[in-house]
Amino acid sequence: MTLTPTDPAAAGGLPPTEGVLHETVLPAPGSGGRRPPFLRIEWVDDETGAVGYLVIDTLVHGMATGGTRMRAGCTVDEVADLARGMSNKTAAFDLPVGGAKGGIDFDPKDPRAVDVLTRYCEAMRPFLDNHWVTAEDLGVSQERIDTVFARLGMRQSYHAAIERSPDPRATADRVFAGLNAYAPGGRLGDVVGGYGVAQAALAAAGVRGWAVPETTIAVQGAGTMGGGAAFYLHEAGARVVALADAAGTLYDPDGLDVPGLLDARDEYGEIDRTAVPSRVMRLPREAVLATACDILVPAAVSYAITGAGCGDVRARIVVEAANAPTTADAELDLTARGIAVIPDFIANAGAVAWAWWLLLGQVGEDYRDSFDRLRTRMDAKVSSLLTGWTPSAGPIRWAADVSARSRSAEPLVVP
């Protein structure tokens, strides 16, 4: 395991866990203005050769939060980009925690995947015990990561925060109840992120004055985030005309039966084609990005929209549900064409915001409280960014940048 501290404070170890505010780091000379992450770790699995990474981008009160992904080809640069995005998400929603991300270069469908994830988490145990709150991400379901935590004798993947509570067992029970509470569309902990993305899209449509039933949507990805976004957009009355999974794009200009398609998914978010009505067109996987629609929701892999392919995008607004789905050059090109891109650290931040609201006791088992709070916050943020925006002002991401925002130095208290 290689541990690379990229901040002077890291050379002497992580700071104490209580009452520490570590967030603003000056850019390193020659970095082009981008500050380095707080800490990077590389891990190699002795049994499979899989390589894993942990990047802690910022610490606030000695804590950072961010999911753990698993995919073949995952790189440390990808994980660092995602960790930086997590810092932006937590700052944008005024959460008392910094940003981090875990990633493993390994096929999540491999039968050895759970054991690889277990060994990775065991290696990261000092951080998971005290500094890093993780959760599901691409290739790693919440159920899978909680299974691994149980194997290692930890209460849940929010372990580091839960252990700060005066009564960790009671807090763990409260968090578990919230995660597993009923919500339309599924388990609250699974669908709340997609609900937030749907509200971001609906807020954008509202700013443009589009009637919801006439608003057309294309969603890339039918997993937790993409499936949830498609479900709640469909429930709101919008017309989801395209939905893509790893096997291809399903397209119907009259609108897809989203609940029916989601019911036909397997554990990897792939839709059983035998359950797809004959009227639905079956197109190549990449076709979803070129769908003529009002709003495109990339909710699958990072860097899906690149400079080479962004000319095919025909949506009027892109709402980023995946982490870093649009490369910087593609975003500039889309902006120049008048296509608004609602950045990921706003649009898909609902899951992390809700998780910390749950940890801090601000929401509970009633999904209506969580949905009301998230809808209000997302509508306000997206509306303020999009209202009056013009392409000449540059990407919306620039106006939304919160990287320099400071947060309260009051101690983090988990009830």
Instruction: Going residue by residue through the chain, which has 415 residues, state the pLDDT in tens, using 9 for 90 and above.
Output: 555 544 433 333 444 333 333 333 333 333 344 679 999 999 999 999 999 999 999 999 999 999 999 999 999 999 999 999 999 999 999 999 999 999 999 999 999 999 999 999 999 999 999 999 999 998 999 889 999 999 999 989 999 999 999 999 999 999 999 999 999 999 999 999 999 999 999 999 999 999 999 999 999 999 999 999 999 999 999 999 999 999 999 999 999 999 999 999 998 889 999 999 999 999 999 999 999 999 999 999 889 999 999 999 999 999 999 999 999 999 999 999 999 999 999 999 999 999 999 999 999 999 999 999 999 999 999 999 999 999 999 999 998 877 666 665 566 788 8
Q: How far is CA 201 from the centre of its chain?
A: 15
Q: Which CATH superfamily is domain 186-400 in?
A: NAD(P)-binding Rossmann-like Domain (3.40.50.720)
| β-pairing verdict for 51-56 and 39-44 | antiparallel
Do the Cβ atoms of 347 and 323 come closer than 8 Å?
no
Q: Do domains 2-179 and 186-400 have the same CATH topology?
A: yes
Do the Cβ atoms of 160 and 128 come closer than 8 Å?
yes
Which of 193, 205, 204 lies closest to 321, judged by CA?
Answer: 193
| β-pairing verdict for 216-220 and 295-298 | parallel
First to last CA, the chain: 35
Q: Reading across the β-sheet that carries 340-342, which strands appear in turn?
A: 281-283, 248-251, 239-245, 216-220, 295-298, 317-319, 340-342
Length of the chain: 415
Tokens of 169: 């067992």
Do the Cβ atoms of 194 and 225 come closer than 8 Å?
yes
What is the CATH number that goes with domain 2-179?
A: 3.40.50.10860
What are the φ and ψ backbone dihedral angles of 206, each rounded to 5 degrees?
Answer: -65, -40
What type of residue sits at position 134? T
List the Cα angle 168/172/174 in 5-degree steps. Answer: 120
Tokens of 222: 């039918």
Q: Which of 89, 101, 109, 381 is catalytic?
A: 101
The tally of CA atoms less than 13 A away on the side-chain side of residue 5 is 10
- Which residue do the tokens 């902990």 mark? 189
Q: What is the distance between the alpha carbons of residues 105 and 124, in angstroms, rounded to a whole number?
A: 16
pTM: 0.88
Tokens of 315: 């949506």
What type of residue sits at position 293? C
Taking only Cα atoms into account, the Rg of the chain, rounded to an integer number of angstroms, comes to: 20
Q: Domain boundaries in the chain?
A: 2-179, 186-400
101 is a catalytic site residue: yes
